[in-house]
C-alpha cells in the first residue's frame, strides 16, 4: 500500500491540525498515512513513498528540529523521495519555504510550493489540507 509519513512539530497545535487535514486527504485517496511528532528519535523512512515535514514559523524560522532531521543518518533517509512541507503561520510563513529548501538540498522530488496555512485551520482551510493530501498521493501514483 502506498505510504506517506508526516513528521511535524507544533507549539500550540495548529500545525498538528494541518497534518490531520492532510491525512484525511491521503486516506481518501486510498493511501496509508503515518503521523510522527518529532521527539528526537530516529524515524525509519525506508518504506515511505513520500515524506511530509511540518513546522510552524516562530521568529521567521521553523522549529529547531528542522535543522537536525535533514542531517546525518536521519537526513540520508530523505534522499530521492517525494517530499513536501507544511505548517501553520501567523505572518510570513517562512518555515514552509525553509523546509522546502532543505528538501531540495537532499535531492528530494519536492512539491513546491508546500502548504502554509494561516493560524488554526477552519473548515475551509481543512479542505485545502485534504486536497493537498490527495495531490501528494496523485504525485506518487504518477511516478
Ligand X SMILES: Cc1cc2nc3c(=O)[nH]c(=O)nc-3n(C[C@H](O)[C@H](O)[C@H](O)COP(=O)(O)O)c2cc1C
Task: Please give the residue ranges that form the binding site for ligand X (CB under 6 A).
Answer: 10-15, 56-60, 88-93, 119
CB of 36 to ligand X, least distance (A): 15
Which residue lies nearer to ligand X by CB, 79 or 101? 101
CB of 107 to ligand X, least distance (A): 28
CB of 119 to ligand X, least distance (A): 5
Residue whose C-beta lies closest to ligand X: 90
CB of 7 to ligand X, least distance (A): 13
Which residue lies nearer to ligand X by CB, 12 or 138? 12
Which residue lies nearer to ligand X by CB, 97 or 134? 97
CA distance 129 to 143: 22
**Which residue from 65, 113, 89 is spatially nearest to 15, judged by alpha carbons?**
89
Which residue lies nearer to ligand X by CB, 49 or 86? 86
Amino acid at each position: 500500500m502506498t505510504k506517506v509519513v508526516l513528521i511535524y512539530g507544533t507549539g500550540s497545535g495548529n500545525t498538528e491540525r494541518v497534518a490531520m487535514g492532510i491525512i484525511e486527504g491521503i486516506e481518501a485517496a486510498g493511501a496509508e498515512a503515518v503521523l510522527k511528532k518529532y521527539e528526537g528519535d530516529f524515524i525509519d523512512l525506508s518504506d515511505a513513498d513520500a515524506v511530509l515535514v511540518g513546522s510552524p514559523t516562530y521568529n521567521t524560522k521553523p522549529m529547531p528540529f528542522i535543522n537536525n532531521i535533514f542531517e546525518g543518518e536521519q537526513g540520508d533517509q530523505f534522499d530521492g523521495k517525494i517530499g513536501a512541507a507544511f505548517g501553520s503561520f501567523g505572518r510570513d510563513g517562512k518555515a514552509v519555504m525553509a523546509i522546502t529548501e532543505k528538501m531540495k538540498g537532499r535531492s528530494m522530488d519536492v512539491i513546491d510550493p508546500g502548504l502554509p496555512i494561516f493560524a488554526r485551520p477552519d473548515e475551509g482551510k481543512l479542505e485545502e489540507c485534504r486536497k493537498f493530501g490527495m495531490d501528494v498521493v496523485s504525485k506518487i501514483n504518477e511516478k
